[in-house]
Amino acid sequence: SMKKTMCSLGGAVTVLFLVLSTAAIAAGPLEEIRLTVDTIIGILQDDSLSGEERQSKVSTMVKERFDFRTMAQGVLATNWKKASAEEKDRFVELFSQLLEATYRERIDTYNNERVEYDSEKIRKGRAVVETRVVTADVEIPIQYKLLSKGGEWRAYDVVIEGVSLVRNYRDSYREIVGKEGMTGLLAKMENKIDELKNTEAGK
């Protein structure tokens, strides 16, 4: 179900946003991600910031680093072509809100994991960066897929322990669109975002 998918992706999304965020000018995608992590960790550990300020700073960087439209196209797959221009725009808007809201719900679970950077491969304007998040108990392999756009590397997918974020959403959303159309999917996404915002407001 969609709800189960969202829950299972919560931790993944947290790691995703912690690592991919700022418009760092660097030699390549691996260095950009390394600089991004340092920036994000600095924000999370800055006790002079209020919770709202911390969220706002991270949110700004998330928007700069992610190519949400490319991600949205990958998630909707063949349904992207069938959607109207208005549906596409609304889906991109909701999809970005959903990832961000899920992240904000989970941000408090961050507890100083260490990130190791293993390799980068660049080919024809695309890159794959291999990293690991190292905790006291486990190592979590995380692969980032990025596109070069306007001299910046922007993420369009992340693969955590062999599971693609885009593919996970694609499978869940395909089922919903098949049963309820784009209208049904957009309504479900709006409801989920409201749920996440209400959870936050109650804290």
**pLDDT confidence of 104, banded at 50, 70, 90?**
low
* Percentage of the chain exceeding pLDDT 90: 35
* pTM of the predicted structure, to 2 decimals: 0.76
CB 144 within 8 A of CB 37: no
- Give backbone dihedrals phi and psi of 148, rounded to 5 degrees, phi first: -90, 120
- What would the two tokens of residue 122 be? 């660049």
Instruction: Over range 30-45, report the average pLDDT.
Output: 77
Q: Residue 91: CB partners within 8 Å, gap ≥ 6?
A: 72, 76, 83, 182, 185, 186, 189
- Left if phi > 0, otherwise alpha if psi is -120 to 50, otherwise beta: which for 54? alpha
Residue 32 pLDDT class (50, 70, 90 cuts): confident
Least confident of 17-26, 44-53, 184-193: 17-26
Whether the pLDDT of residue 12 is over 70: the answer is no
Query: What is residue 111's predicted lDDT score, i.e. its pLDDT?
Result: 58
- Cβ atoms of 48 and 100 within 8 Å: the answer is no
CB 114 within 8 A of CB 120: no
pLDDT over 60 (residue 51): yes
Cβ atoms of residues 78 and 174 within 8 Å: no
Residues 73-92: pLDDT tens digits? 999 999 999 999 999 999 99
Q: Which residue has the tokens 């931790």?
A: 11
pLDDT score, position 22: 43
Give the long-range contacts of residues 139-142, CB within 8 A, separation 24 or more.
Answer: 140/15, 142/15, 142/16, 142/19
How many angstroms separate the CA atoms of 144 and 136, rounded?
23
